[in-house]
């Protein structure tokens, strides 16, 4: 490796690209804070709406501020007949992440402040996206099953409404709480791939819808958000706890990845996992199906013993969403419905102190040469 190549950090591993006051990821203590609050404390004490407010405003809301925030979100959940028409026109085989990416892009064209990238306009756009993304996800999902969309209900919380528009009913409070907790845990996570994508797009002066469209494209990948779906496919393939260990041995033999394990930043455990596992266990009790959590326990113990690799948030979130009654293709779109909060907080932060993101590459192609005439090639 030449001298000039030695400072290349493939995958930007360990590179500190900017300052940020949104969240702090602390791998040395396996912990994560949003605006200074431990994520597990927020998950137990707050609603997703309070956490969204916190991420966007830097402080938790008081009761009046929370009521206003909830009313603003709940009042903007409806999507236009034009977007419903576009969603109906999607191929039935379309990947749900492609569907929500396209819907967000369309919402950008419909946005009443499309040309305005000022901070107040971006904040209003963020609120519209927070409110409308679940409606688009639910409509696209129901369309693939030949079902009509369900109208959002402004009297319901963000989490309750999601169940209503996807499944047509609101479940028991403990199920809604487990879902709300998952939304809080998924909301924000430093300079992860999709957030950095959103910041890069923003750094060019482009608008929030463009940044979020690109972020959704990045989140789709199985090394990022797509892992929560992959976990449930994996558990379904294993089928029963008694087969978990032999299945895992087969993966070790092929040096294959086990989805839901490992993390670029946390090497000794992900602080979000104990909280999500607790609520996934609650779901198993509520539904009366312990199979998935038993399989998960066996896999996690064996991965730690054999590989010293810990599970990440996607590992308990996958079975939790299944036990809540959601189809697997909805899992990563749910991540979008939550992470729009973190993405928007970063877009606002990036735009406020902007510098175009434009790294360098070390050229390793052929040396400069003369262009030969056509008849000499």
Q: Which residues of the chain form contacts with ligand COA (CB under 6 A)? A: 223, 227, 257-264, 307, 309, 312, 314
- Hey, which residues does 32 pair with through a beta bridge? 25
- d(C-alpha 138, C-alpha 156), whole Å: 15
List Cα–Cα distances, 29 to 80, 114, 195, 267, in angstroms. Answer: 46, 42, 23, 10
Closest residue to ligand COA: CB criterion: 262
Q: Please give the structure tokens belonging to residue 346.
A: 């970063």
- d(C-alpha 230, C-alpha 153), whole Å: 31
Is residue 263 part of the annotated active site? The answer reads: yes
Is residue 254 part of the annotated active site? The answer reads: no
Please tell me which residue in 84, 209, 263, 346 is annotated as part of the active site: 263
- d(C-alpha 51, C-alpha 159), whole Å: 13
- The beta-carbon contacts of 6-9 under 8 Å, at least 24 apart in sequence, are 8/362
Please tell me which residue in 141, 189, 314, 322 is annotated as part of the active site: 314
Q: Please give the structure tokens belonging to residue 9.
A: 């950090």
Cβ-based nearer residue to ligand COA, 200 or 312: 312
The 10 Å CB-count burial string (b at 16+, else e) for 298-323 is bbbebbeeeeebbbbbbbbbbbbbbb
The 10 Å CB-count burial string (b at 16+, else e) for 264-282 is bbbeebbbbbebbbbbbbb
Cβ-based nearer residue to ligand COA, 69 or 261: 261
CB of 362 to ligand COA, least distance (A): 20
- d(C-alpha 258, C-alpha 311), whole Å: 10
Is residue 314 part of the annotated active site? The answer reads: yes
CB of 264 to ligand COA, least distance (A): 4
Cβ-based nearer residue to ligand COA, 16 or 89: 16
Please tell me which residue in 153, 224, 289, 327 is annotated as part of the active site: 224
Cβ-based nearer residue to ligand COA, 178 or 258: 258
CB of 195 to ligand COA, least distance (A): 13
Cβ-based nearer residue to ligand COA, 90 or 335: 335
CB of 185 to ligand COA, least distance (A): 11
Task: Check: CB of residue 191 under 8 Å from CB of residue 288.
Answer: no
CB of 312 to ligand COA, least distance (A): 4
Residues belonging to the active site: 224, 263, 314
């Amino acid at each position: 490796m030449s001298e000039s190549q030695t400072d290349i950090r493939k995958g930007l591993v360990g590179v500190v690209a900017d300052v940020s006051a949104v969240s702090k990821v602390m791998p040395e203590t396996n912990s994560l804070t949003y605006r200074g609050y431990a994520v597990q404390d927020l998950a137990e004490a707050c609603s997703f709406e309070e956490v969204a407010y916190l991420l966007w405003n830097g402080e938790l809301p008081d009761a009046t501020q929370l009521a206003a925030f909830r009313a603003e979100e709940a009042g903007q959940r409806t999507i236009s007949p034009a977007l419903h028409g576009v969603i109906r026109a999607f191929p039935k085989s379309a990947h749900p992440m492609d569907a929500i990416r396209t819907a967000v892009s369309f919402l950008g064209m419909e946005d009443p402040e499309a040309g305005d990238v000022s901070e107040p306009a971006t904040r209003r756009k963020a609120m519209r996206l927070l409110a409308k993304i679940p409606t688009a996800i639910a409509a696209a999902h129901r369309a693939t099953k030949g079902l009509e969309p369900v109208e959002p209900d402004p009297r319901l919380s963000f989490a309750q409404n999601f169940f209503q528009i996807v499944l047509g009913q609101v479940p028991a409070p403990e199920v809604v709480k487990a879902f709300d907790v998952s939304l809080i845990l998924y909301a924000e996570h430093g300079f992860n791939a999709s957030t950095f994508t959103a910041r890069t797009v923003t750094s060019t002066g482009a608008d929030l819808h463009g940044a979020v469209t690109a972020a959704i494209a990045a989140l789709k990948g199985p090394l990022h958000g797509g892992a929560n779906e992959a976990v449930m496919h994996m558990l379904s393939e294993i089928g029963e706890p008694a087969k978990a260990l032999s299945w895992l041995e087969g993966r070790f033999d092929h040096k294959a990845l086990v989805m839901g394990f490992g993390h670029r930043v946390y090497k000794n455990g992900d602080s979000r996992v104990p909280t999500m596992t607790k609520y996934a266990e609650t779901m198993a009790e509520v539904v009366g199906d312990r199979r998935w959590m038993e399989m998960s326990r066996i896999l996690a113990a064996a991965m730690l013993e054999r590989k010293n690799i810990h599970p990440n948030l996607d590992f308990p979130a996958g079975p939790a969403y299944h036990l809540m009654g959601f189809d697997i293709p909805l899992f990563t779109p749910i991540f979008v419905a939550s992470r729009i909060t973190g993405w928007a907080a970063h877009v606002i932060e990036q735009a406020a102190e902007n510098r175009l993101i434009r790294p360098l590459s070390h050229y390793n192609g052929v040396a400069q040469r003369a262009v030969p005439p056509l008849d000499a090639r």
